[in-house]
Structure 1
Amino acid sequence: MGEGSTAYILVLYYSRTGATARMAAELARGVESSGMSARLRTVPSVSPDTQASLAPVPSEGAPYCTIDDLRHCAGLLMGSPTRFGNMASPMRYFLDQTSDLWLEGSLTGKPAAVFTSSNSLHGGQETTLISMMLPLLHHGMLIAGIPYSEAGLTRTHTGGTPYGASHWARGGTSALSDDEITLCRALGARIGKLAGALQQTPVSSGMGGSQ
């Protein structure tokens, strides 16, 4: 999806049981429905012996994300399962390596959105989504959520928040509900459309004009 020099939305995620990966695939479909390409990427698991735990490539699924994948994206959709109301350590570890992008301003003015999955309905989904927004705000990205004009947001009895897409795994069920799929695709399409519009009217990365 969206390789080469074509403008693309990076769909970056960590998934342990498959639920977040399923969300990523639906978000990518939403991106591509907007006319923008989607690039699916994941991050490796980490452990106390992190460097020894990293395989060169995943055994299946999306390739591991590189810093250049993030540097050159037109927009970002980032997802992680909920871990005690926060993003999972593998995603946090990857973000901790992006200081060069912050110094360069590589992500400034680009649209971004977040998504998550949890086993329990009140498992900290919203705080996890907000925790993922914080480093993206430091990078100067433009955060978008899901507006209430999306009917699924008021209809859903599973996942779905105005802060980003979410999935209620109900004790390990990775299948997404119809509303969760609809909201994932809507958020993907929204970021794709925003990225396309911003490419036509770039946002300045400067710190302000003369006084």
Structure 2
Amino acid sequence: MAKVLVPYYSAYGHIYEMAKAVAKGAEEVEGTEVKLVKIPEFDVVKQAMSSQDAYVQAQDNQDDVAEATHDDLRWAEGIAWGIPTRYGSMPAQMKQFLDSAGGLWANGELEGKATSIFTSTGSVHGGQETTIITSLIPMLHFGMIFVGLPYGENPEQLTTDGIGGSPYGASTISGPDGSASPDERDFVMAKRLGARLAKVAHKLNQ
């Protein structure tokens, strides 16, 4: 048995959809228990974005998802983080959650756990690779073991099409105005990432 947690932050729903695909991929690995949780939104952001119908609808769609806690991180043996880009790195919501987990870092409670990262950007060159790479830094401070998405398991990456995917992790493109939906190939790669993380977590748990 391996326990896989998928904590994510999603303003407009793109990462939420990708998170569900990652969770589904992990669930398809025999003996894996999966938990999907969301990183809490800032009240000031809720107020500022309350006039945007797309934001409000996306938040309503996530009402049933429980908010992530430190106990969720303790529970997990593999963690796949859903981190959208903000100027090529993680958003403040995710950073605050990780910063608040200093006690887990001090006690080494996340050391040796498998981890992966998936992301979304507004454009092809909007920071898909830099967001994952820069988000990896705190994971290494926590002592986690990074699981990427190699070309051998992910041939969709070898394309000139405007889709997500890199050896660093799964990703998708939301469009400059957030109106784009994940390509079906993005979901395929997200599922593969979830499955790969689950398999690594199983082996580490042995």
TM-score, normalised to structure 2, is 0.86
Is there any run of 5+ residues in structure 2 with no aligned partner, and where?
A: 47-58
SS at match of 1:90: helix
Deviations 1:96-139 (A, max 9, x none): 01111111111111110001101111111111111211111001
Shift of residue 9 of structure 1? 0.6
- Contact residue 31 and residue 190 of structure 1 kept, 8 A: yes
Shift of residue 71 of structure 1? 1.3
2:19 corresponds to which of 11, 24, 27: 24
Q: What is the distance in 2 between the residues matched to 1:32 and 1:96?
A: 29
Residue 141 (structure 2) aligns with: 138
After superposition, the CA RMSD in angstroms is 1.9
Residue 74 (structure 2) aligns with: 71
Identity %: 39
2:172 corresponds to which of 143, 150, 167: 167
Q: What is the distance in 1 between the residues matched to 2:17 and 2:180?
A: 8
Q: What is the distance in 1 between the residues matched to 2:140 and 2:119?
A: 18
1:196 corresponds to which of 199, 202, 206: 202
TM superposition outliers: structure 1 runs of 4+ over 3 Å:
47-50
SS at match of 1:65: coil
Residue 184 (structure 1) aligns with: 190
Is there any run of 5+ residues in structure 1 with no aligned partner, and where?
A: 1-5, 51-57, 201-211
Residue 109 (structure 1) aligns with: 112
2:6 corresponds to which of 3, 11, 30: 11
Q: What is the distance in 1 between the residues matched to 2:180 and 2:2?
A: 30
SS at match of 1:93: helix
The aligned length equals 188
Distance 1:129 1:10, change over 3 A: same
- What is the 5 A alignment of 1:46-85? 46=42, 60-85=63-88
Q: What is the distance in 2 between the residues matched to 1:101 and 1:7?
A: 20
- Contact residue 2 and residue 205 of structure 2 kept, 8 A: no
TM-score, normalised to structure 1, is 0.84
2:127 corresponds to which of 101, 124, 127: 124
- Contact residue 14 and residue 81 of structure 1 kept, 8 A: yes
- Contact residue 113 and residue 201 of structure 2 kept, 8 A: yes
